Structures are given as structure tokens and as C-alpha cells.
Amino acid sequence: MTTKTPPVPPIRFAVRAKPSPPWPFSPLLELPGGTLHNYGGGKILSGQKFVYAVGLSPQHFIVVERAPGVGPVQPVLEQAVGFLWGLGARVQRVKLRCPISWFSDSSGDFQWKRCVVFFARVCQGTDPTDPPWIPSNVMPVVPVGVVASAGMDHWLRMEQILDGIEAADADLLSELGSTLAGMARRWEFYLARTILLSQKVGEYDASDQDLVAQCDRVFYRILTKFEPGYELLPATIARLL
């Protein structure tokens, strides 16, 4: 009696994940709910004569919370947010009504680079030490390690944004003014105060110090790259030494 050998299934190689679809360079982004205008190769999305979304980098977009305009325009905005998420972008919502006319020249042409600078200033004008869910008159008690980790994530995100702006046009960085320096100064005072309070209650251990050191190195690298004239606080210099 012969024994039949079961057939060997064919070897199947792992299917490689398909890369994200490239950004459409068409002047229009067609969505199920309508069509949005596309400027700067995906830097600006607008509709109804208002700016809806601005890409500060391929991974970071600022999007208005509500889409101004006539008719059911909000579904188109939410579909655009889903499209950006599908491309792997992080979306930050802002309460802002921004007409295209703010960035039009004397000939009526839309200057998308001026729009990018405006939204970058809005982004850098936010306070990384003031969570929106905590009232401004309340001092939150947060472990210094948590503060340092959140700060490092914030500054790495800012580095990606500044790299994206520089890649679009290096001259745009000079038009941002002192917004980065202002954000950096607020962060330095906040971190120094948090460390001081933690030391007073004996909660500044070796793991916290390591996280603070990592955050300081990231912070220092970004400031020396994009704000070389910035003067660090003595407390920050002492930790870096």
C-alpha cells in the first residue's frame, strides 16, 4: 500500500506594505463631498475663499475647526482631514477664520508662502507648558519626568515643522521672527520651576534626571540650528554641562 504525500503549499513571501500615495500635484483635490483648491504642491487647502488646512511639514498640518463658507462645507473639511490622516500626517485644529484675501498681492494672486508663515507663527505662538484642559489659574502638579518626556516630544515635533518650512523655502525661516525664541524662553522657565518644585519634595530621582537630560539635548540642538543667537538660561546651561 502506497502512502500519498500531502502536497506542499507554495512558499508565500510576506507582502510588503504599499507606500502612502503621493500627494496630488493637481490644483484641485477632489473629495466625495466637494473639491478643494491645492496650492504649493499640497501646502495649502482652501475652499469658499477661506484657508482650511496648511501643511507646515509633510507630517504636520494645521486645520481650522470649522469650515467657513456657504452651504454644507464642513463635510468636505472633515474628508480632507481623513485624507491627511491617511497620508500619515498629524493634524492640529485651531479656532481661526482665515480668508485667502489676507495673502493676496495687488494683482489678486494668492501668495501661499505668506500663508505658511502666518500659520507657523500661530503654531509657535502656542504655549507648550499650558495644556488647554487645565484652567490658567491652576498650577498642575506633574512629575518632572512626565514634563520632560512631553517637552521632548514637543521639540522634536517643532524640529520636523521647521525642517519642513526650510525645505519649502529657506527664506521663510527668517520671516518667523522671534516666535521660536519666545516659545523656548517659556519652556525653559517652566522646566526649571518644575525641577525646583520636584527637588523640594524629594521626587527628582535618577530616571527623572535622565529624561530631563535627553530633553535638554534635543532642545539645545534645535535652538542652535534654528535660533543660533538665542541665549540659554543659566539653569539650562548648568544641566547641559
| pLDDT tens digits for range 115-143 | 888 888 888 777 666 654 445 555 556 78
Pick from 164, 49, 160, 148: nearest CA to 113: 164
pLDDT at 11: 47
Residue 95: what pLDDT?
85
**What pLDDT score was predicted for residue 21?**
47
Q: What is the pLDDT of residue 217?
A: 93
Q: What is the chain written as a DSSP string?
A: -PPPPPPPPPP-PPPPPPPPPPPP-SSEEEETTEEEEEETTTTEEEETTEEEEEEEETTEEEEESS--SSSS-HHHHHHHHHHHHHTT-EEEEE----BGGGGB-TT--B-HHHHHHHHHHHHHTS-TTS-TTS-TT------HHHHHHHHHHHHHHHHHHHHHHHHH-THHHHTTTTHHHHHHHHHHHHHHHHHHHHHHTT---HHHHHHHHHHHHHHHHHHHHH-TTPPPPHHHHHHH-
Inter-CA distances, 49 with 52, 93, 110, 114, 208, Å: 9, 19, 11, 16, 49
The yes-or-no verdict on residue 211 having pLDDT over 80 is: yes
Residue 153 has pLDDT above 50, yes or no: yes
CA–CA separation, 216 and 212 (whole Å): 6
pLDDT digits (tens, 9 = 90+) for 213-238: 999 999 999 999 988 889 999 999 99
What mean pLDDT is predicted for residues 74-85? 88
All three cell numbers of 73: 462645507
Percent of the residues in the chain that have a pLDDT greater than 90, as a whole number: 13
Instruction: Determine the pLDDT at residue 188.
Output: 92
pLDDT tens digits along 23-74: 556 788 888 888 888 888 888 998 888 999 998 888 889 898 888 877 778 8
End-to-end alpha carbon distance in the chain: 82
Radius of gyration of the chain (CA): 24
Does residue 15 or residue 121 have the better pLDDT? Answer: 121
pTM score of the predicted model = 0.73
Percentage of the chain surpassing pLDDT 70? Answer: 83
Residue-level pLDDT at 12 = 46
| pLDDT score of 137 | 58
Nearest Cα neighbor of 222 from 140, 153, 131, 132 is 153
Task: Tell me: pLDDT of 19 over 50.
Answer: no
138 backbone φψ class: left, alpha, beta (φ>0; ψ -120 to 50)? beta
What is residue 41's predicted lDDT score, i.e. its pLDDT?
80
Q: What is the mean pLDDT of residues 74-90?
A: 87
Does 17 have pLDDT greater than 70?
no
